Amino acid sequence: MTEIHEYNMALRSVGREADAIPVSAVVSLGTGMIPVTELKEIDVFRPDSLFDAAKLAYGISAIGNLLVDQATASDGRVVDRARAWCSMIGVPYFRFNPQLSADIAMDEKNDLKLINMLWEAKAYMHANRSKVIEMINLLKYFTF
């Protein structure tokens, strides 16, 4: 969305406003929300012994994992900002992102895990059928 906006602004700045592409709707497809995992307490302190140093390393590792998870989150504030941006300019926004029962790697090869993920995605889309139909009806009117 940012790139489209910047592209359109650049076109307008050079007098090519007719070439600008207005945003008509935004469809956001997530890769699935992983289950929430409990975070054990994180204790960062000055170590007094080798055992304390190992505990400190574990605490720093847990913080690192937490930061990576937040930075790569496919939901949350990033989606909130996209939804707000669309609302500000009057553009319909549709977000589809099923809750998954397990964390699925992008290169997963286990058929059972993949089938379960597909089933959960299908069940999610069925449960959100009215939103899907609303999106389809809106997209029918756009020419691409």
Residue 138 lies in a domain: yes
pLDDT, position 65 = 63
pLDDT, position 115 = 95
Residue 108 lies in a domain: yes
Residue 7 lies in a domain: yes
User: Average pLDDT of each block of 10 consecutive residues along the chain (144 residues)?
Assistant: 91 95 90 64 63 64 62 70 92 92 86 94 96 94 70
pTM over 0.85: no
Residue 68 lies in a domain: no
Where in the sequence is the domain holding 120, given as residue range(s)? 1-33+89-144
pLDDT, position 49 = 72
Residue 123 lies in a domain: yes
Residue 22 lies in a domain: yes
Residue 53 lies in a domain: no
Cβ–Cβ under 8 Å, residues 83 and 95: yes
Cβ–Cβ under 8 Å, residues 33 and 98: yes
The domain total for the chain is: 1
